Amino acid sequence: MSMTGSVLIGAALWGQNLYNSWKPRSVAVYGTSMVGKTTLDSYLTTPGEMEEISEDERTEHFKILTRYILPRATKKRVHWKGEKRVVNSADIGGQERYWNLWVEDMVSRQVEAVVYMFDDRAFKGGMEGVEQVAGFKFLVDTLIKRNYRYRTLKSRWRGKRYAPKVIMLVGNKADRFFDENAAMLWQQGRIGEHKIFDPFRDDLIRLQKAGIRTKRSFMATRIGWNVEVTMLDLLSG
């Protein structure tokens, strides 16, 4: 390759990296109560070690008549080893009464990448674990069956045509379950085989068959472990 060709390719790559660094990307973060969504939102806004959030501090939304008000997305910057991304995301509650807001948020912002957060309760059983799996199933059903009842004709039309480019299933609070097996799978690039993802596998297969890419990752938002790497991976490819 000539020197001129190499220079042109280098300039093109530099321009693409600059564009990726500053173009805001529409990202959604969903999940049921107390899985770490608000902590992630706070960390992306101001990185650092975070306080534990109590049940009394869970995200709540105002209601006008029969409709909950959708929160506004805010801009965050993700930096890691020279790579930068700008993301727009909103902090939306995880209680079942707010699940409809997930759909309204996805469609109204035409979200390109979705993070669904859960934690180790998902494979331990119990009502909280069942709810985490049910929340993911609700999202998948909405995207595949397209039978959600939207508020307006405009959102209904946009919803019928909408699908995110990628959905990432993120096991949060990894500091509670990251064992030797997880470390081995991590080193081998096979983290998706970890048992924590087992309750979600049927719905992951459904998404793949529907043409929606899926990814899997771990993070520990409270201590800031693997947060930036996960967000950059979400927006790559």
Give residue-wise pLDDT tens across range 107-119: 999 999 999 999 9
pLDDT at residue 1 in the model: 52
pLDDT at residue 3 in the model: 55
- Place 18 in a pLDDT band, splitting at 50, 70 and 90: very low
Q: Is residue 143 within 8 Å of residue 90, measured between CB atoms?
A: no
pLDDT tens string 213-224: 999 999 999 999
φ/ψ of 22, rounded to 5, equals: -115, -15
- Give the mean model confidence (pLDDT) for residues 70-82: 91
| 91, pLDDT greater than 70 | yes
| 14, pLDDT greater than 50 | no
- Place 58 in a pLDDT band, splitting at 50, 70 and 90: confident
Burial (CB count within 10 angstroms: exposed 0-12, middle 13-18, buried 19+), residue 63: exposed
Q: Which domains does the chain have, with CATH numbers?
A: 25-234 (3.40.50.300)
Helix, strand, coil: what percent of the chain each, to 5? 50, 20, 30
pLDDT at residue 2 in the model: 55
Burial (CB count within 10 angstroms: exposed 0-12, middle 13-18, buried 19+), residue 150: middle
Least confident range from 18-22, 32-36, 113-117, 193-197: namely: 18-22
- Place 143 in a pLDDT band, splitting at 50, 70 and 90: very high
Q: Considering only residues 53 and 175, tell me which one the structure prediction assigns the higher pLDDT.
A: 175
Q: Is this model's pTM higher than 0.85 or not?
A: yes
- Give the mean model confidence (pLDDT) for residues 154-162: 80
pLDDT at residue 76 in the model: 94
Least confident range from 35-49, 89-103, 118-132, 149-163: namely: 149-163
Compute the Cα dihedral for 101, 102, 107, 108 and give only its sign: positive
Using CA atoms, how far residue 10 sits from 4, 14, 20, 85, 235, in Å, is 10, 6, 15, 20, 22
- Place 34 in a pLDDT band, splitting at 50, 70 and 90: very high
The token duo for 142 is: 């909405």
DSSP category for residue 173: -
pLDDT at residue 4 in the model: 55
| 88, pLDDT greater than 50 | yes
Compute the Cα dihedral for 70, 71, 73, 76 and give only its sign: negative
